[in-house]
Structure 1
Amino acid sequence: MTSNLSPIDTAKFVAAKRAVEFVEDGMRVGLGTGSTAAWMVRCLGERVREEGLKVSGVPTSTRTAELARQVGIKVISLDDARWLDITIDGADEFDGDLNLIKGGGGALLQEKIVATASDLMIVITDPSKKVDTLGRFPLPVEVIPFGWQTTKALVEETLASLDVLGQQASLRMNGEAPFVTDEGNHIIDLHLQRIGNARQMSMVLNQIPGVVENGLFIDICDKVVIGHQDGRVEVEDINDGSHEEGTIEFADAENLFLDI
């Protein structure tokens, strides 16, 4: 075990290391965004360099694209790829049916487009992200800047008729200014505590004028790879109901991922 990796970083690394084992030569791979996905991009880059693995990566944000190029992954657009073999990404929450809340990193729109354009979506995570019911993590809703305050008011009005515990909505900020996504939009975070019907919530939110997309990923994730701080990894597959366990060696992670 490396002494300088925190327990959470170790869990992220071993999950990422296991997830990239699903990538095969010639695949078109969706590359997620966020701190956990960054470990995955680095692990995939390691395979490209050391094994000569040939893949094309479709990033879900400008920062993921930059990292992918740095580690030697060929970057293409989704329009060029047209369809993907696999997408690997993180999640802010997941439940027993592998439904997700994503968007903590602000890239939910591109992440959802890429994930739904894939034959297989794998989520890499740690045990703390698993919940019985979604909603503990604030639900991001991407909205266009024009009339965002009106859109926020409509969202809050809609929440009153839905099965949630909290109804607070806040504009995500970046210092003193509103946070801006890669698509030039804003994000409203919904502090709901519990979402009683995630499928209904997703459909209703997307009907509100000004809403571009929400961070509920329903029936999109196929596998979840859960990393633990002791190197153990669990793989759950929603399609066949399988559950695998194994161990990943991570003694070399310290030097390879020092800048993450």
Structure 2
Amino acid sequence: MSDDAVTLMKQQVGKAAADRVQSGTIVGLGTGSTTAYAIQYIGERLQKGELKDIKGIPTSFQASVLAKKYGIPLTSLDEVDRIDVAIDGADEVDPQKQLIKGGGAAHTREKIVDSLAEQFIVVVDSSKLVDKLGLGFLLPVEVIPMAMTPVMRAIEGLGGEPTLRMGVKKAGPVVTDEGNLVIDVKFANGIENPADLEKTLNNIPGVLENGLFVDTADVILVGEVKDGQPSVREV
């Protein structure tokens, strides 16, 4: 599939999610390339007057910058008592709507915002749909820096192969918006029980959060290209 087709598909699925946002709502703004289009289209709907009285809660520095660029007023969890809808991407989606997120190292904030939302809409392209989580994409685990070595040992004890995520075009490891490190974990046979593993990992002292999103997704919007034409379907 050409880069142009992929871009078109991401735009279409981002627009489909943005079209579901209603006036007077608090919107969780996710992180990543597909969600970036949703943020852009929400901003365009505001400018056209199709939407009014929207407030966004960003899940990352990237989302915050984009929201400001497209004129979406921002608020915080201290200021609101609800989130009506959250729009976010995913790195893998299984048939039970369980997700792996964290390719952009923003999964801790994303999980807070996405799990608080009345409705969590996931926007992905068809390449993110998998039969089983963890076979293709490594599971991100956010760790407090001083605990990195003991946490990696504990993960090895669970049968995982942990690697510290290193920066691209940056010397040294990736540092999250919270100032922590990310360990990417490979499970040779994939993840058998996402719900159990999510809890087990989060119980390791020094782990802040991991990229398993269990029972949080309400709607999955999937972008596809058929005969060169982008389309969006709901799972």
**TM-score (ref. length: structure 1):** 0.84
Cα separation, 2, equivalents of 1:51 and 1:228? 29
Give the counterpart letter for 1:156 in structure 2.
Answer: E
Task: Quote how far apart the aligned CAs of 1:5 are.
Answer: 6.3
Q: SS of the counterpart of 1:53?
A: coil
RMSD: 1.3
Residue 39 (structure 2) pairs with residue 41 (structure 1) = yes
Task: Quote how far apart the aligned CAs of 1:231 are.
Answer: 2.2
Paired residues of 1:100 and 1:216 also in contact (CA < 8 A): yes
Specify the alignment match of 1:190 in structure 2: 185
Task: Quote how far apart the aligned CAs of 1:32 are.
Answer: 0.1
Specify the alignment match of 1:93 in structure 2: 92
Task: Quote how far apart the aligned CAs of 1:156 are.
Answer: 1.4
Residue 209 (structure 2) pairs with residue 216 (structure 1) = no
Paired residues of 1:58 and 1:77 also in contact (CA < 8 A): yes
Cα separation, 2, equivalents of 1:213 and 1:128? 25
Regions of 4+ moved over 4 Å: none
Query: Once the two structures are superposed, what CA deviation does each residue of 1:173-215 show, in whole Å capped at 9, x if it has no partner?
Result: 1132111111111100001251111111111101101101100
Q: SS of the counterpart of 1:141?
A: strand
Cα separation, 1, equivalents of 2:9 and 2:50? 26
Cα separation, 2, equivalents of 1:182 and 1:197? 29
Paired residues of 2:102 and 2:211 also in contact (CA < 8 A): yes
Cα separation, 2, equivalents of 1:146 and 1:104? 22
Match of 2:202 among 206, 216, 221: 206
Cα separation, 2, equivalents of 1:64 and 1:111? 11
Query: Once the two structures are superposed, what CA deviation does each residue of 1:126-173 show, in whole Å capped at 9, x if it has no partner?
Result: 11100111012110000001131121111211x23xxxxxx3210011
Unaligned runs of 5+ in 2: none
Query: Once the two structures are superposed, what CA deviation does each residue of 1:20-61 show, in whole Å capped at 9, x if it has no partner?
Result: 111100100000001111111111111111125121000001
Give the counterpart letter for 1:26 in structure 2.
Answer: G
**TM-score (ref. length: structure 2):** 0.93
Specify the alignment match of 1:18 in structure 2: 16
Specify the alignment match of 1:134 in structure 2: 133
Specify the alignment match of 1:252 in structure 2: none
Query: Once the two structures are superposed, what CA deviation does each residue of 1:48-79 show, in whole Å capped at 9, x if it has no partner?
Result: 11125121000001111011011010011122
Between Structure 1 and Structure 2, how many residues are aligned? 226
Residue 216 (structure 2) pairs with residue 227 (structure 1) = no
Task: Quote how far apart the aligned CAs of 1:114 are.
Answer: 0.1
Cα separation, 1, equivalents of 2:99 and 2:178? 22
Matches within 5 A, 1:1-260: 6-54=4-52, 55-135=54-134, 136-157=136-157, 159-160=158-159, 167-174=160-167, 175-193=170-188, 194-229=190-225, 230-236=229-235
Give the counterpart letter for 2:172 in structure 1.
Answer: A
Paired residues of 2:155 and 2:161 also in contact (CA < 8 A): no
Identity of aligned residues (%): 43
Cα separation, 2, equivalents of 1:205 and 1:228? 33
Q: SS of the counterpart of 2:117?
A: coil
Cα separation, 2, equivalents of 1:139 and 1:184? 19
Give the counterpart letter for 1:17 in structure 2.
Answer: K
Cα separation, 1, equivalents of 2:224 and 2:44? 21
Identify which range, 171-180 or 130-139, moves more after superposition. Answer: 171-180
Paired residues of 1:10 and 1:228 also in contact (CA < 8 A): no
Query: Once the two structures are superposed, what CA deviation does each residue of 1:88-141 show, in whole Å capped at 9, x if it has no partner?
Result: 000000011111000000100000000111100000011110011101211000
Unaligned runs of 5+ in 1: 161-166, 237-260
Q: SS of the counterpart of 1:81?
A: coil
